[in-house]
Amino acid sequence: MRFLFLGDMVGRSGRTTVWEKLPGLISDLRLDFVVVNGENAAGGFGITEEIFQNTLSAGADVVTTGNHVWDQREALSFAPREERFLRPANFPKGAAGRGSGVYMAKNGARVLVANIMGRVFMQPDLDDPFACAEDLLAACPLGEQVDAVIIDFHAEATSEKMCFGHFVDGRASVVVGTHTHQPTADHQILNGGTGYLSDAGMCGDYDSSLGMDKEEPLNRFTTKVPKGRFEAAQGPTTICGLGVEISDRTGLAEKIAPLRLGPRLEETVPAFWR
C-alpha cells in the first residue's frame, strides 16, 4: 500500500496549495491512502467544516487534528457526524467526535487511523497517550481486524514521540509526529517494522515563525509586549509530509522517505515512487 501523510496545513496559503497539488500527487504517485493534518488550516487556528470538506474533495481520506481542534467552535458541531474527521483519541470520554476509525484504501486494505496527543509541554493535558494506544491496538490489532495502522502522534517533545514509536513498534504500520511544524530528518523503520518520523513538518509558508507572519512573534520575543494578533503567513507554501510503502502481507513499513515540495526547503520525493 502506498501511503502519504501531509503535515499541518497552516492558513490559506497552506490549505490552498495542498488542495491544488494533492490530486496530482495521488495520480502521479499512485497513492492508495492519504492522511492530512488540518488543525491549523483556518487562519492558523483550528479548522472549519468547509475547509474539511475541501480537503476531502482534494483527495484526503482522513483529516487529523491536535490541540487546536476546537479553536473554530463549529468543529464541535460537525465532528460528531463526520467519520473522516479525527480529534485526539485521548480526550476524556464524552468529547465530541471520534479519535480513530477504520477506513478502506484504494487497494482494498482496511486501515485503522488514530489521532493521539502527547502530554509533555502540551495543553490541554489529556489522558495517557500510551494507555490510549494500547486500548486501540488491542481492540483492532494489525493483521487481524485491519491491514494497516497509522497513528498521527501530535506532540511537542521528541523524547515522548520516540518513546511512543518504540511502544507501538511492530503493532503499527506508521507513527508520524505533528505539531512542531518543523520537519525532522529521522525517518526510519524501527526494529519491529514500524515506520517512524518525529515530525512531518507543515504545509505552509516557511518564511515565517512556524507558519505565522514572523513580525509579531519576533516582537514578542524582543519586547515582551504584544502589538497584535498572530496571523498566518501568506507567502509561497512548501508541502511537507512522509511517504511510506506498507507491506500488503505484514502491514508493516517496507520503505519510508520524506516528501517536500516548494520553496525554501530542499525538494524531495520518495525515490521509490519516482
Q: What is the set of active-site residues?
A: 68
Burial of residue 102 (CB within 10 Å: 0-12, 13-18, 19+) is middle
- H helices within the chain, ranges in order? 11-29, 49-57, 75-78, 129-139, 158-168, 215-223
C-alpha cell at 64: 487529523
**In whole angstroms, how far apart are CA 59 and each of 34, 54, 56, 64, 216?**
7, 9, 5, 14, 34
DSSP annotation string for 200-236: --EEB-SSSBTTB-THHHHHHHHHS---S---B--S-
Per DSSP, the three-state class of 137 is: helix
DSSP annotation string for 227-260: -S---B--S--BEEEEEEEE-TTT-SEEEEEEEE
- Is residue 173 within 8 A of residue 246, CB to CB? The reply is yes
**For the chain, what is the radius of gyration of the CA atoms?**
17
Angle at 69 between CA 12 and CA 44, to 5 degrees: 25
Angle at 159 between CA 206 and CA 100, to 5 degrees: 80
Backbone angles phi, psi at 55, to 5 degrees: -70, -40
- Is residue 40 within 8 A of residue 70, CB to CB? The reply is no
